Amino acid sequence: MLTLHIDGASRGNPGPSGIGIIIFRNNLLILNYGEFIGFHTNLLSEYLALKRALQFALIIDNEIKIYTDSMTIIQQRKSKERIRKKELKILFREINNLEKKFEEISYTYIPRERNTAADLFAKKAIDYYIN
């Protein structure tokens, strides 16, 4: 089983944005990843981090636990509530389709201070773009 820590960051809302992903298997680090993703809102950045993490995880394992400091992501993924904004709606459907490829998937909220590595990679991706 994989453990994924994800985070999306945005400097401004919308503003320059990045994602950070940390993947572990049996407490061994598999991947540290950061990527500049353009100019987005913070929520869209969080969802783009989730999508990219699911894409990476599919290559490695079919059982995953996802940890995020975004309560909105947790609530929306667990309840599968409707999304109104078109861009988020499309992304939400893509994530639903990715989730179907896993045998086991769970979402857990963690406080920001327990998600610092993913946050750091997201922010470094923005810094790299700006500088």
pLDDT at 84: 81
Q: Pick from 7, 16, 32, 1: which is nearest to 114 by CA?
A: 7
| Report field, pTM of the whole predicted structure over 0.85 | yes
Q: What domain count does the chain have?
A: 1
CATH number (domain holding residue 94): 3.30.420.10
Domain that holds residue 70: 2-110+117-130
Per run of 10 residues, the mean pLDDT along the chain (length 131 residues) is 97 96 96 97 96 98 97 86 82 95 97 96 95 85
pLDDT at 80: 63
Using a 10 angstrom Cβ sphere, with 0-12 exposed, 13-18 middle and 19 or more buried, the burial of residue 59 is: exposed
**Maximum separation of any 2 CA atoms in the chain, in Å:** 41
pLDDT at 85: 85
pLDDT at 87: 87
Amino acid letter for position 63? E
